[in-house]
Amino acid sequence: MLIVRAGDAGEVISREIIKRCDLGTLVGFIDDDKEKIGKSIHDRKVLGNIKGINNVLDKDIKEMEVLAKEMDAEGIVRKLQKMVPTYKPNRDMLM
């Protein structure tokens, strides 16, 4: 999960997500304030700005593909396709 905005509200939301595993896993933050990019809040980085969110998502998908090779690849692919309907799996991942 990514939180858009890394200010006070984002910090409060992140604290709750980290505390409650049932809400999901917090990957990081997205914020347009250049000074916040690269900094961390509760050990989660501000990964980029809103215009570059696709680059952040692409990187996360590639990391998930690497994990999928070591785990249940088909289950991971199904999760990725639900998250990103246009996602097409890397052929090497399913071998």
Q: Tens digits of per-residue pLDDT, 22-73?
A: 887 888 888 889 999 999 999 999 988 878 777 777 766 665 555 555 555 5
State the residue range of the domain holding 75.
54-94
Residues 64 and 40 in one domain: no
Residues 27 and 38 in one domain: yes
Residues 9 and 43 in one domain: yes
* Domain end position, chosen among 33, 51, 69: 51
Residues 42 and 83 in one domain: no
- Count of domains forming the chain: 2
Residues 33 and 14 in one domain: yes
pLDDT class of 5 with cuts at 50, 70, 90: confident
Decide: 6 and 46 in contact? Cβ < 8 Å. yes
Residues 42 and 76 in one domain: no
